[in-house]
Amino acid sequence: VEILSRAPALGFFDGLVPVWQGDTLHQVRAARHIAATGTLEPPLIFPDNDLPGVMLAGGARRLAALYAVRPGETAVVATTGDRGLAAALALHAAGVAVGAVADLRHDAGGGELAERVRAAGIELLPGTTVVRALGRQKVTGAVLGRVNAAGLADPATLRELPCDLLAVSAGAIPSTSLLLQGGAKARYDEATGRFVAESLHEQVLVAGEVGGFEDADAAELSGQVAGAEAAIALGKGETEARTELRDAKARLAERPAPSPVATPPAYARDGKRGGKAFIDLDEDQTVKDIAYAAAEGYDSIELSKRYTTVTMGPSQGRFSQLAAIRALGAHTGLTPAEVGMTTARPPWVSVPMGALAGRPFEPAKRSSIHGRQREQRAHVRWAGDWRRAYDYGDPQAEALAVHESAGVIDVSTLGKLLVRGPDAGELIDRLYPNRFSNLKPDRVRYGVMTSDAGRIMDDGTICRLDAESFYVTTTSSGAAAIEEWFGWWLAAWDLDARVTDVTQGLSAINLAGPRARDILAGLTDLDVSAESFAYLDARRGPVAGVEALIMRIGFVGEVGYEIHFPAAYGEHVWDALTAAGARPFGLEPQRILRLQKLHVIVGQDTDSESTPYTAAMPWIVKLDKEQDFIGRWALEHAAERAGETSLVGFTMVDGHVPTEGAVVHADNGGPLGQVTSSRRSPQLGQVIGMAWVPAALAADGASITIRDEGRDFAATVTTKPFYDPDGEVLRS
C-alpha cells in the first residue's frame, strides 16, 4: 500500500482525484474512492466574537492535550455538543481554570462527559450559550445566558464571567466538498442542524466523521466497512472481504448513536448595543452585512455570497458557510434547507499554480563519480544541493578500514576557488583571520573564515600555488556563499585579484589510511615519501595518468591525500584508487573519523554565535597581522574576554549515544549547553562526541550530565583529540 503523506485531495472530477504532494500532482483514477474527510468545527456567532482570546474549542483542546500548551489562564467554554465538554476537560487537565461551560443543550447531552465535567468541579450551564465577549484589545470576560429561537437572551439569565480564553464550538460540519463535487446531494439534517451528503457517486464510499461516525472506534469500524465494500466491488478477496464486512457492520451497529447536538441560533446576543458579530473572519463579514444583502433582495445564498463575498476568503467558507446560511434564513424567513448550500468547487485546499501547471524541478548536483558510487551500492542522501554517498552499507567497517588499510571518499562537493593576481595574498589575508601571505608555494594551511562580527562562517584549506595564485577550498554547503563573499569584498577593496569558481569543474578524492602512501606511489611518478611530501605539502602531477593537484591533509586523522583533478576523469581516478586497494567510504564514516580528531563541521558544531576562541581554535586568529581583516575588531574584543561556553569533546560513561542536540545540564536541571555531534567509534570502542559546555567545565576530566530522551547520562570532558592527539600518525 502506498501512503501519500501531506497530500490532500484537491477535487473529484468524474472519477479523477488530483492529489497534491509537494511539487507533485498525482492524478488518481481509482475504481473506488473512500472519503474520510472528517468534519469542521464552526464558531458561534455573537457580538465581539473576533476578540483575541476567542478560539475554537477544538483548537484549545489540541493545544492543551497534544502540545501541552495552555492557551489561557481562565477559560469559559460555550458549546452545542460534546466537543466543548471534551475541550473543557482537556483545559482543566492542563491547569487552565475553567470558569463555566455553557452548553446549549437543555440536558448538556446527558452523558458521561457531562458527568465528568461536573465531577471535575466545573460549573455546567445547560441551555445556555455565549451572548457577548467582553474586553477591548483581548477577551476579559464572557456574558452567558439563555436565548430564544431568534438568539435573543433573556435578561434575567445573563451572567458575566471573567476569562482570558473563550473557547467556542458550534458542533461539527461534515467536510462534504469532495463528495458533492462527485455528484452527491446536500441535505439539511434538522436533527443535527447541518448539511450532510447523500446519493453518493457510485465509485465513492465514506468512512469516519464525514459519514456520521463520531467516536474513534466507530470511525475505525466504518473504515473497515468501506474498505471491505470497496474490495468486494473490485472482486478482491471476496470471501475474506464479505466476512470482514459482516463482522464490521455488526460491531458498528452496536456502537452508541452519535451524541446529540443543539442547533445554535443564527446570532446569539444580549440585546445591548455595540459589538460586531462576525460570520466570516476571512472577509470581515458580519451578521449586519448579511442582513443588508437580504434587505437588498439577495435572498439566495449564491447571490448573497457574491454580494457580500462571504465564504470567498482563504478558508473558502469552511467556517462561515453554515453561519451565513442561518443568518440569511433568519433575515428572509427561509429555512436553511430552503436557502441551500453554495456549489462545492475544487480545489478543496489552496494549491500553488506551479503544482497544477508547472513542471517540478528539483535540481540535484552530482559529482562525476556519483554513478560509480551507486554501482558500488552507496546509500545516497541529500547534502545541501548535492546527492552524496552516505555510506556503503557498513559505516563502522568503512571507518575501521581507513585506520587499518586505506579508504577513499568523494569530496568533490567541496567549494573550490582559484584566486589569482598580484593582490591575491592580500585579499585572502583580509578575508581570513589567519595569515596566508607568508604561506610558501606548494604548502597548505587550514583556514577559518569569520564574519564582520567575528563569528565562524566557513572553513577549508588554502594552498599556495605560486606567488600570485592560491587554491581555496570551502565547505560543501558554503561554496556559493563564500564565492559571493570573495566577490563582494574584492569589489569593495578594488584589489588586483581574480576569483574563479572551479567547484563543479574539479573532482576531489580523499585517500587516507596507513596504505594511502603506497597506493598513491603506485599511481604517480611523484616522490610521495614522507620526507619529500610532508604533511601540509601540495604537489602537482599525474595520478593514474590524470593531471592533479594533491594536498597532504588529514581531515579523517590518518595519512591522507586530497587529490583534485578535472571532473571529466572522476570515475577513472576513483577506479584506479579502489583497484589499488582503497575501500570507498561515505559521509557517515567520515563523520566518525573526524570526530575522533575533534575536527569541527561548521554549521553542525558551530552556530551563529561561535567564534574561533569559543570553538577552541584561538591559534587560527592572528591579531598581530599587519592587514586589517574581516571580523578583526570583534575578535579583538573576544580575545580579551573569556567566552561563556566552549566547544569540547566528551566520552560517554555508559555507552549511550546521545542525540545530537541533547542538552548538557546542571545539577539543578538548568540547561548549560548542548551536544553537537556524537558517534560510536569502532576504533576507540567508545561513544564520543562534541558539545558546548560552560567554560568552567572545559577541562580534561570534567564531568558533565547530558539529558537525552528524558534520562540523564554521565559524560567526561576532553579537550584533546581522541585519536592521535599529538598528530604523530597524521604527520608520519
Partner 1 sequence: VSFAFLSVEATASAGGLVTASLDVVARSPMERQARAAGARFEVRGGWNVAVAYDGEHERLQRSVGWSDASHLTKLELSGPPPLSLGYGTGTRTEDGWWLPMTRTRTLLVDAQNGAAEHLGAAALDVTTAFGALILAGPLARETFARFTALDLRPHVCPPGAWRPGSVARTPGGILCLAEDRFLMLFGAALGQYVWTVVSDAGGHLGGGPVGADALVREEAGAGA
Applying CB under 8 A, among 91, 172, 186, 549 the residue interacting with partner 1 is 549
Applying CB under 8 A, among 187, 498, 707, 731 the residue interacting with partner 1 is 498
User: For partner 1, how many residues bind (rule: CB under 8 A)?
Assistant: 46
Element (H, E) at 466: strand 456-466
Instruction: Give residues with Cβ within 8 angstroms of 358, minimum separation 6.
Output: none
437 binds partner 1 (CB under 8 A): no
659 binds partner 1 (CB under 8 A): no
Which residue's CB is nearer to partner 1, number 183 or number 566?
566
Which residue's CB is nearer to partner 1, number 317 or number 415?
415
73 binds partner 1 (CB under 8 A): no
The strand pairing partners of 717, in sequence order, are 650
The strand pairing partners of 690, in sequence order, are 649, 677
Instruction: Kindly state the smallest distance separating residue 545's Cβ from partner 1, in Å.
Output: 4
Strands 24-29 and 16-21, by their bridges, are antiparallel
366 binds partner 1 (CB under 8 A): yes
The DSSP secondary structure of 409-464, one letter per residue, reads: EE-TTSEEEEEESTTHHHHHHHHSSS--TTPPTTBEEEEEEE-TTS-EEEEEEEEE
Applying CB under 8 A, among 16, 250, 364, 623 the residue interacting with partner 1 is 364
Quick check: helix, strand or coil at residue 122? coil
570 binds partner 1 (CB under 8 A): yes
Which residue's CB is nearer to partner 1, number 379 or number 731?
379
Instruction: Kindly state the smallest distance separating residue 553's Cβ from partner 1, in Å.
Output: 16
Instruction: Kindly state the smallest distance separating residue 526's Cβ from partner 1, in Å.
Output: 11
Task: Provide φ and ψ at 239, rounded to 5°.
Answer: -65, -50
**Burial of residue 453, with CB atoms counted within 10 A of its CB: 0-12 exposed, 13-18 middle, 19 or more buried:** middle
Instruction: Mark 463-482 with x for binding to partner 1 (rule: CB under 8 A) and - for no binding.
Output: --xx-xx-------------
Instruction: Kindly state the smallest distance separating residue 5's Cβ from partner 1, in Å.
Output: 25
The DSSP secondary structure of 317-359, one letter per residue, reads: TTTTHHHHHHHHHHHHT--HHHH-PPPP-S-SS---HHHHHSP
Q: Are 322 and 279 in contact (CB under 8 A)?
A: no
Instruction: Kindly state the smallest distance separating residue 363's Cβ from partner 1, in Å.
Output: 5
Which residue's CB is nearer to partner 1, number 394 or number 575?
575
386 binds partner 1 (CB under 8 A): yes
Q: Exposure string (b/e) for 64-79, b if CB count within 10 Å is 16 or more?
A: bbeeeeebbebbbbbb
Residue type, 473: T
The strand pairing partners of 679, in sequence order, are 688
Instruction: Mark 519-548 with x for binding to partner 1 (rule: CB under 8 A) and - for no binding.
Output: ------x--------------x-x-xxxxx
619 binds partner 1 (CB under 8 A): no
Judged by CB under 8 A, the stretch of 65-73, 126-134, 496-504, 611-619 that binds partner 1 is 496-504
Reading the block at residue 593, the C-alpha cell is 573519523
Applying CB under 8 A, among 308, 367, 477, 681 the residue interacting with partner 1 is 367
Residue entry with cell 430552503: 338
3-state helix, strand, coil in the chain (%, to 5): 30, 30, 45
502 binds partner 1 (CB under 8 A): yes
52 binds partner 1 (CB under 8 A): no
Rounded to a whole number, what is the distance in angstroms from the first to the last CA of the chain?
Answer: 56
Task: Using alpha carbons, select from 273, 279, 324, 322 the residue that is nearest to residue 298.
Answer: 324
Instruction: Mark 243-262 with x for binding to partner 1 (rule: CB under 8 A) and - for no binding.
Output: --------------------
Q: Are 600 and 570 in contact (CB under 8 A)?
A: no
Applying CB under 8 A, among 571, 581, 716, 731 the residue interacting with partner 1 is 571
Judged by CB under 8 A, the stretch of 101-109, 128-136, 366-374, 424-432 that binds partner 1 is 366-374
- Applying CB under 8 A, the residues found at the interface with partner 1 are 359, 361-368, 370-371, 386, 412, 418, 420, 465-466, 468-469, 498, 500-506, 525, 540, 542, 544-549, 564-572, 575
